[in-house]
Structure 1
Amino acid sequence: MQKALAELLECNQLEEIDINLYTGRAAHNSGGRIYGGQVLAQALSAAGRTVPAEFTLHSMHAYFLRMGDPDRQVVYDVEAIRDGRSFMTRRVVAKQYGKAIFSAMLSYQVEEEGFEHAHTVPDVPPPESLISDDERLKRYFPNGGSWPIEFRKVNPQDPENPQPKEAVSYSWFKATDKLGDELATHQQLLAYASDNPILITALNPHGVSFLNPELATISLDHALWFYRPFRVDDWLLYETHSDVAANGRAWCRGRIYNRKGELVAAAAQEGLLRLKNR
């Protein structure tokens, strides 16, 4: 298995240190702080350890409270808020140095039948016709290492000469190697991936490059909803929109489709988005 993916999966196998209490570590150092998607994935792993197998995660609402130290373990404290016949709710607080760096509410549901409809998948080029972000950006990050998730962006901005355009972007992504069949693992990796391209969609209307050294971006809160089983080791399309930016913040939303065109998950994020010293 590709090394970065194997390390990510290993890091998501948290150590249980007491009842509903777990520890995890960062898979890699991303800019001196723990990548937010890593904490999302580990929170899913911790909470999932406390619910019966017949319950599946259907939503997560999270807040990033402090930057995480990648050189220190993270403690995940899970609280059972409600155990019902159809739904279960868990609260997870991640801590370092005795302070909360992240908190989330997660809801689990037993499978049931109901009404079905979904937004139509957008018409975009297939991933096979695109180059990976690692290849496209390697001149800017020659020592960046490899990611456990491969992204291929549709119609990407020129990082050196970005032009104002609609606040919409499309990215294909998948794990860099095959995974097992456990849905919880695929949900953890989707959570990991979902924090990557969503916020920078808000830069499109302003013609600002994500490489701009004066740019400050930090995820503030993040939400996920899961509707169908899916596999992260097959290509998924991430359609993202930014509906508003104001007061130093931007709000973005995303739809995630499988290769069949089924809408399998949705995401939303608000983040800090501003130029420093302004």
Structure 2
Amino acid sequence: MTGFARADGGNDKAQWVVEVRSVNGKGRDMRCRLPPGLDGLEPVVRTAVEARLARGNINVTISLTRTDAAGTLRINRELLDQVLGLAREIAGPDAPPPSIDTLLSVRGIIDSTEPRETEEDRQALEQAMAVTIALAIDRLVEARIGEGSHLSAVLLDHLGEIGRLTDAAAATSSLQPEALRAKLRAQIQALLDAVPPVGEDRLAQEAALLITKADVREELDRLRAHISQARTMLRDGGSVGRRLDFLCQEFNREANTLCSKSADVELTRIGMDLKAVIEQFREQVQNIE
């Protein structure tokens, strides 16, 4: 299921932003981009994602800006004294000292020192960022729930259309009892009139095959059962994406069997329409957790 969420946080030493994106996926796959030096956050992110999200390709990006990263400057007095001594030795004791610009251009005269982070500081930072990570994931879950409500209505519409087509298939003239009996009588009579004559065992086998192929009531009953099961899943909620995936395979199997058994143009057309709606249903199921 697709979604995006963002949360930010900060303390007296840093500001950070957590962005979480999710796209459709059969399973759960997580990728995480962390600021340098904060690799210890990955288990925190993974645990938070696995606790709330069961399906989808999840990307978590965390950016960090340190507010205490300016550091301080200091004069390397030992090196400065050496430079001034060399200047007097070269120019003579009465020569004026080098200018400030000249001294500052000598590498090492001015040192910059970065603030040092203790282990306690790093742990405190990661704990504060973990709160923001959890907040971003909560917001993503809320966004996905909103999308899920819309998708549930779409899926119910598809199930309604599958049910309508199933009823239309059952009502076709070719599946009415008298039509089935007339068709079977004609086919069996053709076997009896065959030259050379068909043996009794072969006749029984062919008749059983014809009866089985002409009767699609079992497939229609299973389609209705699958519709009921899918509606129950959507009503109960929870992580039903994988179970609906499996149910889509069952829908397709019954629709394919219906088409393969059909010897009637109208029934074949209905079977093809069924397959088209089932495919639309399957595509939307990919968005469900």
TM tier, smaller: under 0.3
Higher percent of residues as helix: 2
Q: TM-score, normalised by structure 2?
A: 0.22
Higher relative contact order (Cα pairs below 8 Å, separated by 6+ residues): 2
Structure with bigger strand share is 1
Structure with the greater alpha carbon radius of gyration: 2
